[in-house]
Amino acid sequence: MKILIRNIKALLQVDQGKRQKVCGEQMSELPLLEDAFVFIDEGIIKGYGRMPDLHDSPYGKYTGHSDVHEIDAAGRMVMPSFCDSHTHMVYAGSREIEYIDKIRGLSYEEIAKRGGGILNSARRMQEAGEDELVDSALERLEEVRLLGTGAVEIKSGYGLTTASEIKMLRVIRKLKELTPLTIRATFLGAHAVPAEYKGRQGEYVDKVIEEMIPLVAGEGLADYIDVFCDRGFFTGEETDRILLAGIKHGLRPKIHANELDFSGGIQVGVKYNALSVDHLEFTGEEEIKALLESDTMPTLLPGAAFFLEMEYPPARRMIDSGLPVAMASDYNPGSSPSGNMQLVMSLGCIKMKMLPEEVINSVTLNGAYAMGVEDNLGSIAEGKKANLIITKPIPGYSFMPYAYGSNKVDIVITEGRIS
Ligand code: NIG
Ligand code: FE
């Protein structure tokens, strides 16, 4: 299907597809065209420009054409859809019980120590069938798609047995077939030590390395490998061993690091050229220095800090030091039961003092980089996938993070489908 979006008040994040990510000061630059059009064919951005130039452009001939779907975007912004580079969207059952425990004063770590948290989700995962997992994840994916998300990374990690981890990854593979969203899968066998390995953590790490990784890689079930490298979960040395084994099997690291403490996770991620290191609430000068010398994308998950009422990562210090920053939802039943990237943008501005341009860069181009899809998504560029957002009529792009809690997205286009 051919689509012509015309009279766009501002077309955001336009580029020639040359930028893979934006760092430091560049993060406050948001290239845009006012009074613009975009032409889409078969789900691909074919061209864009300013309305006064439409007539003389190669796309002028499509105006008023019967097989072209025209959308009048007067008063609206058009932008690339969000790339949510860190989620745990496949899970069985919610965890409001722990939510209430948290309201009563227990911390995330205390809940985990009592056998709640990830182990609670792992118990339910054992019992869940593939079909119900696919159905519930599809519902979540559709919800976030309509809120503007166009690409999602999804992790395993509620399995914690070989069979259950493989089950989760097969569900993600099915989701890749069933949803128009772009999906990437990450193997997170080392998310927590399962109850039956209590006191034998090393043996579980061996099992991840010797049994799970070869099977996962052999079936081509994952694009990336993750470890929850933090206090009370996996140590820097264990993470090192697991990442090395993953890399040997072709899985690039993309890890949880420094959420609960200075865990060494950032350094071990950088050592193994991780695509991203995520959370980063505990980031100091040493960590920033390591990141500056790397191609690793620091990825912040303010929804988790908000929900758990923990410290926010030092986004301002990172950007002012010249780093790129991506933001993702961390959508999961324990620490961030929301995949709403519009809310993530608001949290970025309100809680981490990021500018509207910086949050937009962090959830589009830098988010695409953090999940390895920047060649196809994350900006408005000729030849990229036309996964786009058309907003409601709004005064300007800063209204997106400003008007927190309401849905500013009117129409989404995903793989050429208009919803
Ligand atoms: O990213 N931090 C580790 N893992 C998830 C939480 C998972 C859970 O509590 O279910 C996170 O916050
Ligand atoms: Fe997470």
Span from the CA of 360 to the centroid of ligand 2 (angstroms) = 21
88 closest CA partner among 130, 113, 118: 118
Instruction: Tell me the mean pLDDT in the region 212-232.
Output: 98
- Cβ neighbour number for residue 415 with a 10 Å cutoff: 15
Do 226 and 265 touch, CB atoms closer than 8 A? no
Inter-residue contact 336 to 89 (CB < 8 Å): no
d(C-alpha 319, C-alpha 313), whole Å: 11
Question: How sure is the predictor about 18, in pLDDT bands with cuts at 50, 70 and 90?
Answer: confident
- Is there a contact between 360 and 375 (Cβ–Cβ < 8 Å)? no
Q: What confidence tens digit (pLDDT) does each residue in 88-101 have?
A: 999 999 999 999 99
Confidence of residue 416 (pLDDT cuts 50, 70, 90): confident
Confidence label for 282 from pLDDT (cuts 50, 70 and 90): very high
pLDDT beyond 90 at 124: yes
Reply yes or no on whether the pLDDT at 16 is more than 80: no
pLDDT, tens digit, 9 for 90 and up, residues 332-360: 999 999 999 999 999 999 999 999 999 99
Pocket perturbation via mutation, ligand 1, pick of 84, 88, 123 by most ligand atoms within 8 A of CB? 88
Ligand 1 close to Cβ of residue 333 (< 6 A): yes
pLDDT, the chain, mean: 97
The pLDDT of 352-379, averaged and rounded, is: 98
CA of 341 to the centre of ligand 2 (A): 15
pLDDT band per the 50, 70, 90 thresholds, residue 216: very high
Residue range 28-64, pLDDT digits in tens = 999 999 999 999 999 999 999 999 999 999 999 999 9
Give distance in angstroms: CA of 178 to centre of ligand 2: 23
Nearest atom (ligand 1) to Cα of 308: 12
Q: Is the pLDDT of residue 208 over 90?
A: yes
Q: Which of 62-66, 175-179, 241-245 has the lowest mean pLDDT?
A: 62-66
Q: Say how many Å lie between the CA of residue 197 and the centre of ligand 2.
A: 22
For residue 114, pLDDT beyond 90: no
CA of 226 to the centre of ligand 2 (A): 10
Residue 406: per-residue pLDDT: 96
The amino acid at residue 173 is R
Paired sense of beta strands 388-391 and 82-84, if any: unpaired
Percent of the chain scoring above 70 in pLDDT: 100
Residue 113: the pLDDT is 86
Q: Is the CB of 228 under 6 A from ligand 1?
A: yes
Q: Are 266 and 287 contacting, i.e. CB atoms less than 8 angstroms apart?
A: yes
Domains in the chain and their CATH numbers? 2-80+378-418 (2.30.40.10), 82-370 (3.20.20.140)
Q: Given the DSSP bridges, would you call strands 224-229 and 182-190 parallel, antiparallel or unpaired?
A: parallel
Ligand 1 in reach of 299 Cβ (< 6 A): no
CA distance 334 to 332: 6
Three-state secondary-structure class, residue 172 = helix
Nearest CA to ligand 1 atom 12: 335
> According to the model, what pLDDT value does residue 404 have?
97
Residue 17 has pLDDT above 80, yes or no: no
